[in-house]
Structure 1
Amino acid sequence: MNFVDSTVQLDESVKVGHFSVIEKGAKIGKNVVIGNRVTIHEDTVIGDNSTISDGAVLGKPPKPAKTSTVKLSDNIPALTLGEDVTVGVNAVIYRGAEIGSSTLIADLASVRENVQIADYVIVGRGVTVENHVSIGTRTKIQSNSYITAYTTLEDHVFIAPCVTTTNDNFMGRTEERFDKIKGAIVKKGARVGGASIILPGITVAEETFVAAGALVTKDTEEKTVIKGVPAKYSKQVDERELL
């Protein structure tokens, strides 16, 4: 048995599984498939031809811990999903996120509030996208990577599995840190290899290739390969690999 609030806009072509909840004000487009045990919170908008897999939670209202540094505005906009979006099993997407068309949010992924994800993006299995993140068109983030708050990933960026981005050089100590929290900026076409770590505020330049396991401690130059701990220049990216 499902619960669908009387105010929900639900096209007759929508298919809803068992034991799902759709709260008031939600707008569900045409030919949407909603699995079992799905929760769609208040005012969430889902575009045509999207698929919401079993156990997903959409539009979850953010509620930081009492000790959290996150500050929320009084009016967080509803979650919006574009057309042809796929949301995986047990994925959680918060209210205040905006997901572009033809994007995949895979199984067990988490996308926080104040996040903008463009069209044709892949957010892989188990990926965490924290608040105040921007992700550009056709970017791919592979399984179990961590995209910290205040990070920007531009168009056509590739993030391999288990990449970690960071944003706080003080790691939670001293009041000074509040004005200096900043995630990475990964520019168009850059590629970041598996299990790499990017330190706070680093700019990874266009078409940079970060080798697997690198520790990126300073800004990179365009079209260069960097590797090591700490990461250093290795060579230029082969012209055949450029966008």
Structure 2
Amino acid sequence: MVAPDARLGAQVEVEPGAVIYAGSRIGTGVWIGAGAVVRSGTELGDDCVVEEGAVLGKRPRLRPGSAAAGQEPGPLVVQGGVTVCCGAILYAGARIGPGAIIGDQAQVRERATVGAGTVVGRGSTIDFDAQVGERVLVQTGVYVTGGSVVEDDVFLGPGVMTTNDHAMSRHPRGEPLQGPVFKRACRVGGGAVLLPGVVIGEEAFVAAGALVTRDVPDRAVVMGVPARVVREVPDEDLIERWR
């Protein structure tokens, strides 16, 4: 079903069972799979692919006093060439950069940003107000908590878990939450856990399964529970050698 006042560009294909709500703006050359839902106000750029069962522009449902509450999220904006895979959910107010891939059953929450060429793996969540840069690789089952900052060229291995609330909800209402900061080109191995507000330095390397409780210096290799510096990332492993 396509609402009469939805705006569709040329060569848009809408498969049976897809629903495009009033006020949506769909660019040229877009393919929308069966059962996908495009909510009111969503802006979808040229040459995007929206696979079966994906939901674009979902409004958040929050309990009273939720820390995720903030300014009105506004419309979802998806730039050109993005692929939204089966069952993924993109919330109102999120912004997805050109050429990004949002994997099966992944979520990008309200006011979060995902940069150009970034891949968000299957079942991963980019939570409210998180900022994810360009060419970031987010593997399967990663949780990027609200308020996190992920700079360009970062690698987050499968099952990485981030946190943003030391008090676990026992803090004054309205107190801002701060997720970790991942500086440019750092790498975090599978199953690592990062506590609120820690900074992972440029080109740093966090080993699989580490528990990061404090800032990690630029180019440091850390491992263990809690994570400790064991050596420096060698020159031959810097990202400039691998572009």
TM-score, normalisation: structure 2: 0.95
Provide the C-alpha distance between the structure 2 equivalents of 1:180 and 1:233, rounded to a whole number of angstroms: 29
1:141 and 2:138 matched: yes
| Cα contact 2:157–2:191 (8 A) shared by 1 | yes
Secondary structure of the residue that 2:236 maps to in structure 1? Answer: helix
Q: Which residue number corresponds to residue 48 of structure 2? A: 50
Provide the C-alpha distance between the structure 2 equivalents of 1:121 and 1:180, rounded to a whole number of angstroms: 27
For 1:8, the aligned partner's letter is: A
How much does 1:180 deviate?
Answer: 5.4
How much does 1:223 deviate?
Answer: 0.6
Q: Which runs of 5+ in 1 are unaligned?
A: none
Q: Report the identity percentage.
A: 38
TM-score, normalisation: structure 1: 0.95
Q: Which residue number corresponds to residue 69 of structure 1? A: 67
| Count of residue pairs brought into register by the alignment | 239
Q: Which runs of 5+ in 2 are unaligned?
A: none
1:235 and 2:231 matched: yes
How much does 1:84 deviate?
Answer: 0.6
Match of 2:199 among 199, 203, 210: 203
Provide the C-alpha distance between the structure 2 equivalents of 1:7 and 1:142, rounded to a whole number of angstroms: 38
1:222 and 2:218 matched: yes
For 2:82, the aligned partner's letter is: V
Q: Which residue number corresponds to residue 152 of structure 1? A: 149
How much does 1:47 deviate?
Answer: 0.8
For 2:169, the aligned partner's letter is: G
| Cα contact 2:42–2:77 (8 A) shared by 1 | yes
User: Structure 1 residue runs of 4+, over 6 Å off?
Assistant: none
Secondary structure of the residue that 2:80 maps to in structure 1? Answer: coil
Q: Which residue number corresponds to residue 110 of structure 1? A: 107
Provide the C-alpha distance between the structure 1 equivalents of 2:119 and 2:106, rounded to a whole number of angstroms: 11
Secondary structure of the residue that 1:234 maps to in structure 2? Answer: strand
For 2:159, the aligned partner's letter is: C
How much does 1:66 deviate?
Answer: 3.0
| Cα contact 2:10–2:27 (8 A) shared by 1 | no
Match of 2:164 among 167, 180, 198: 167
For 1:89, the aligned partner's letter is: C
Provide the C-alpha distance between the structure 2 equivalents of 1:76 and 1:67, rounded to a whole number of angstroms: 16
Secondary structure of the residue that 1:93 maps to in structure 2? Answer: strand
How much does 1:67 deviate?
Answer: 5.3
Provide the C-alpha distance between the structure 2 equivalents of 1:185 and 1:230, rounded to a whole number of angstroms: 18
Q: Which residue number corresponds to residue 21 of structure 2? A: 23
How much does 1:135 deviate?
Answer: 0.5
Provide the C-alpha distance between the structure 2 equivalents of 1:180 and 1:209, rounded to a whole number of angstroms: 28
Q: Which residue number corresponds to residue 60 of structure 1? A: 58
